[in-house]
């Protein structure tokens, strides 16, 4: 449990320091830049979000050093040659794209998220490029941290089953800590960062949150299986990137139809994942797992 304690210590550090620093950083930016400039017209919420991310980044290395005394490729999940790593990422990417493409087709055909009226080739290309960049960056960061550092540290002290379950619960839960409001605050106080942070937990009270949470939990379990089986995070990175790419494109070129009788199938997180996504991903991923990996020997890390 030492790994979990350190991890939650990082979260607490991020919350407290981020909330305290957000106000002075915002006020500094307001004093240095004109209201018409790019930084000057950013709301407190947007500035605060970036501050929390930077504070979290400053705690990653100390957190990792506390979890493991040696910084090695094995500890990070990169103990594989570069050519093999790239090959595995490509294989994972193909699976990630194809598995979630099934979901994309279903939510459009079922009328849950019909295409935008002004959809164009340029819109699709722009969405694809943006989603691809975001997919690999997000995949690299989250897989290195969750399926690399956290999971591989936990399996040293507890049974792999519980390491997978706990890591996946944390992975799914952390995604819902975000404030979706505009972040505009009329009167600034030293505690405004804490007020904004409090709003980041409102997603848990949404009645449609569970479907999205189950989807992310299932994704976490499957990615953990891949990491432990192959002894590295290469395929995890590819699969994760593929999923993010499809989600990014679907969100851009479609719009959720709240009047659809099947709208309950998508959750509150991104209006794409939900009970339908949970069902599709669970069936495809774990059918693929049992057919391809179950009888294969686990690779030593």
The 8-class DSSP code of residue 269 comes to T
Cα–Cα distances (Å) from 283 to 100, 239, 269, in that order, read 12, 16, 21
Q: What is the pLDDT of residue 298?
A: 58
Closest CA to 238 of 84, 75, 72: 84
Question: How many other CB atoms sit within 10 Å of the CB of residue 52?
Answer: 24
Phi, psi of 131 (to 5 degrees): -65, -35
d(C-alpha 275, C-alpha 260), whole Å: 15
**Angle separating helix axes 2-32 and 44-67, nearest 10 degrees:** 150
- How does 137-150 read in b/e, with b if 16+ C-beta sit within 10 Å? ebbbebbbbbbbbb
Cα–Cα distances (Å) from 107 to 101, 158, 285, 286, in that order, read 10, 39, 18, 21
Q: What is the pLDDT of residue 299?
A: 58
DSSP helix/strand/coil, 115: strand
Q: What is the pLDDT of residue 67?
A: 73
Q: Which residues pair with 254 in a beta bridge?
A: 115
Element (H, E) at 249: helix 234-253
d(C-alpha 237, C-alpha 234), whole Å: 5
For the whole model, what pTM was predicted? 0.85
Q: What is the pLDDT of residue 187?
A: 82
Closest CA to 4 of 163, 178, 226: 163
∠ at Cα 134 (130, 136), nearest 5°? 125
Q: What is the pLDDT of residue 69?
A: 62
Q: What is the pLDDT of residue 287?
A: 86
d(C-alpha 64, C-alpha 75), whole Å: 10
Beta strands in 50-207 (DSSP E): none
> For the chain, which residues make up each domain, given as ranges?
2-292
Q: What is the pLDDT of residue 243?
A: 96
* Contact in structure between 246 and 68 (CB atoms under 8 Å): no
Tokens of 129: 């490029």
Question: How many other CB atoms sit within 10 Å of the CB of residue 37?
Answer: 11
Q: What is the mean pLDDT of each run of 10 residues along the chain (301 residues)?
A: 82 93 93 87 87 87 74 78 94 94 93 90 92 93 89 86 92 86 79 90 85 94 92 94 95 91 89 92 85 62 49
């Amino acid at each position: 449990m030492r790994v979990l304690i350190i991890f939650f210590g990082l979260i607490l550090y991020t919350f407290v320091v981020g909330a305290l620093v957000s106000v002075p950083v915002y006020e500094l930016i307001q004093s240095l830049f004109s209201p018409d400039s790019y930084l000057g017209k950013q709301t407190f919420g947007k500035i605060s979000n970036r501050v929390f991310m930077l504070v979290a980044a400053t705690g990653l290395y100390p957190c990792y050093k506390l979890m493991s005394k040696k910084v090695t490729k094995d500890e990070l999940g990169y103990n594989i040659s570069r050519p093999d790593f790239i090959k595995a990422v490509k294989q994972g990417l193909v699976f990630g794209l194809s598995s979630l493409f099934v979901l994309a087709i279903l939510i459009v055909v079922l009328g849950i998220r019909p295409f935008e009226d002004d959809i164009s080739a340029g819109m699709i290309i722009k969405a694809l490029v943006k989603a691809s960049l975001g997919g690999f960056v997000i995949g690299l960061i989250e897989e290195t941290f969750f399926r690399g550092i956290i999971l591989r540290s936990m399996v040293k002290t507890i049974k792999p089953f519980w390491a997978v379950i706990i890591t996946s619960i944390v992975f799914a839960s952390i995604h819902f800590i975000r404030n979706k409001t505009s972040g505009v605050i009329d009167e600034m106080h030293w505690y405004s960062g804490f007020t904004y942070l409090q709003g980041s937990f409102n997603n848990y009270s949404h009645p449609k949150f569970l479907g999205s949470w189950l989807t992310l939990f299932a994704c976490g379990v499957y990615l953990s299986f891949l990491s432990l089986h192959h002894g590295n995070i290469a395929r995890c990175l590819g699969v994760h990137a593929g999923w993010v790419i499809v989600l990014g494109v679907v969100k851009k070129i479609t719009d959720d139809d709240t009047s659809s009788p099947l709208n309950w199938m998508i959750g509150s997180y991104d209006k794409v994942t939900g009970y339908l996504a949970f069902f599709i991903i669970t069936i495809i991923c774990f059918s693929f797992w049992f057919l391809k990996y179950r009888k294969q020997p686990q690779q030593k890390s």
